[in-house]
Amino acid sequence: MVGFTHVSVMPGEVLHYWVTDPRGVYVDATVGAGGHSRRLLEQFPETRVIGLDQDPMALAEARASLASFGDRVRLLGANFRHLADALAANQVVAGVLFDLGVSSPQFDVPERGFSYHFDAPLDMRMDPQNPVTAFRLVNMKSQQEITSALKTYGEEPWASRIAEFIVNARQVEPIRTTGQLVDVIKAAIPAARRRTGGHPARRTFQALRIWVNDELGALDEGLNQAHAALASGGRLVVVSFHSLEDRMVKRRFRQWQLDGVGEVITRHPVLPLPSETESNPRARSAKLRVYQH
């Protein structure tokens, strides 16, 4: 298994917007390998961090990376939908960061089952304690449910046909691996369409990953809890990587502003500089939005 090496997206921009109090407590709701938190702790020596991550592999890396900061860091194995539980009663914080999506190591470890580039068991769980796997959804959910998920979470134009082919294929034998699923998807999409728009399995794999991990449901709950935990003047910073997340964040920020409980700092999303996307292609789809309580 490869190590957990992850490059934080827009590190300078995140730090610029995240920090409002040089002595404050900050929540890194997706601590990953600890890149953003490390920069915060290094540049602002009186800050403290509460870091959350549901992936044990990421959390182990964060513990190693941030060990030198001692009791300035508290790390918890938890999904950010449980952010309120991670805080002390009535505790308020200076800022919360959500760096969403799947990290490079999760994609690059074949046995995690996130990538269509490797033949591996159909898994896709960020939290290994999650009872729901991609195998379970692909082989047990109805054709209608699969179609709906591919349309909603993947915005896949061939959702109905892919779902039909999945159901037909699993009647012959269970679809156990990512390679089997890719073959089914390729068979479902006409050859002329497969030659455009990137890898034909991209949207289906995105949809299954979101479905397995209930990413949008978790984000919905996590945003509300983060907003409730912010001190006056504190900021919520969100880096998203696909349109479903970004739309949810944008709408939630607008609603809070309309409700008179803060303001949107970024009228338009902050995008990575070309120099960053050249060195880290996975940053290309990143959008950063900021809300201040």
pLDDT, position 282: 83
pLDDT, position 4: 47
pLDDT, position 172: 97
Query: Pick from 183, 213, 243: which residue ends a domain?
Result: 213
pLDDT, position 187: 96
- Token digits for 163? 């779902």
Q: Examine the domain organization and report whether 32 and 79 are in the same domain.
A: yes
Q: Examine the domain organization and report whether 156 and 188 are in the same domain.
A: yes
Query: Pick from 159, 184, 213: which residue ends a domain?
Result: 213
pLDDT, position 3: 47
Q: How many domains does the chain have?
A: 2
Q: Kindly state whether residue 227 falls inside one of the protein's structural domains.
A: yes
What is the chain's length? 293
* Backbone phi and psi for residue 45, each to the nearest 5 degrees, phi listed first: -70, -5
What type of residue sits at position 238? V
DSSP state of 131: S
- What DSSP string runs through 48-84? EEEEEES-HHHHHHHHHHHGGGGGGEEEEE--GGGHH
Q: Examine the domain organization and report whether 95 and 120 are in the same domain.
A: no
Q: Examine the domain organization and report whether 91 and 223 are in the same domain.
A: yes
Q: Kindly state whether residue 3 falls inside one of the protein's structural domains.
A: no
Q: Examine the domain organization and report whether 148 and 233 are in the same domain.
A: no
Integer Cα distance of 61 and 59 in angstroms: 5
Q: Examine the domain organization and report whether 163 and 230 are in the same domain.
A: no
Give the number of other CB atoms < 10 A from CB of residue 254. 12
Whether the Cβ atoms of residue 29 and residue 222 lie closer than 8 Å to each other: yes
pLDDT, position 2: 42
Tell me the pLDDT of the chain (293 aa) as tens digits: 344 456 789 999 999 999 999 999 999 999 999 999 999 999 999 999 999 999 998 999 999 999 999 999 999 999 999 999 999 877 999 999 999 977 666 666 777 878 888 899 999 999 999 999 999 999 999 999 999 999 999 999 999 999 999 999 999 999 999 999 999 999 999 987 877 778 899 999 999 999 999 999 999 999 999 999 999 999 999 999 999 999 999 999 999 999 999 999 999 999 999 999 999 888 899 999 999 99
Q: Kindly state whether residue 134 falls inside one of the protein's structural domains.
A: yes
Domain carrying residue 82: 11-105+215-292
How many helices and strands, by DSSP H and E, does the chain display?
14, 7
Dihedral sign, Cα of residue 148, residue 154, residue 157, residue 160: negative
pLDDT, position 158: 96
Q: Kindly state whether residue 1 falls inside one of the protein's structural domains.
A: no
Q: Kindly state whether residue 125 falls inside one of the protein's structural domains.
A: yes
pLDDT, position 6: 62
Give the number of other CB atoms < 10 A from CB of residue 120. 19
pLDDT, position 90: 77
* Backbone phi and psi for residue 75, each to the nearest 5 degrees, phi listed first: -110, 135
DSSP state of 229: H
Helix axis angle for 215-229 and 202-213, nearest 10°, is: 50
Q: Kindly state whether residue 5 falls inside one of the protein's structural domains.
A: no
pLDDT, position 116: 85
Whether the Cβ atoms of residue 239 and residue 10 lie closer than 8 Å to each other: yes
